[in-house]
Structure 1
Amino acid sequence: MADHSIMSQVEVLSVMDTGRRRRWTEEEKFRIIEESYAARRRAAATVRHYEISRSLLTGWRREAREGLLAAADSPRN
C-alpha cells in the first residue's frame, strides 16, 4: 500500500474592509427625503439611487416629521 501523506495547505486571505456604513449629514438626509416625496413611487427609486434601505428612508422621514432633523423646516406626512 502506498504511503501518501496529506499535507493541508492553509491559504491566508487578506480582506480589505472598505465598509458599507456611510455617514450622511443632516442636509443630505433632508435632500434625500425631499427627493423621495417629489412624485408618486419616487421613494423606491430614491432608495435604489442612493443604495439605502427602505426602512432607513422611512426612519429619516419620521425624524423629519418629528422635527428631529436640523434641516427639516417643513415636515411632510
Structure 2
Amino acid sequence: MWNSYPNISAITLDRYLSDHRPILLRESTTDYGPSPFRFYHHWLEVEGFRKFVVDTWSSAPGDNRNDMRNLMKKLKFL
C-alpha cells in the first residue's frame, strides 16, 4: 500500500488524552522551479515558425529603458 504514496511519511505523536499515539501523515514534495526552456532545431523546419517568432517578438511588451530587462521580458513572452 505504501508504494502507492511514495511522498508520504508517517510520524507518531506523543500521547495526550488517550493511551494511543496518533499518527501524523505528511506529504513531502519538492519544488524544482520552472522547467528550463529547450529549443529543438526541427522547429526551424516547421512552416510559419519564423513568421510566428517575428510577429510574437514585435508584439511583446517592453520599453527602451533597460535593454537586458526588455530582452528577458520578450523571451518570456515568446
Work out whether the TM-score is over 0.5. no
TM-score, normalised with respect to structure 1: 0.26
- The structure with the largest strand share of the pair is 2
**Structure with greater contact order relative to length (CA < 8 Å, sep ≥ 6):** 1
Query: Based on CA coordinates, which of the two structures has the bigger radius of gyration?
Result: 2
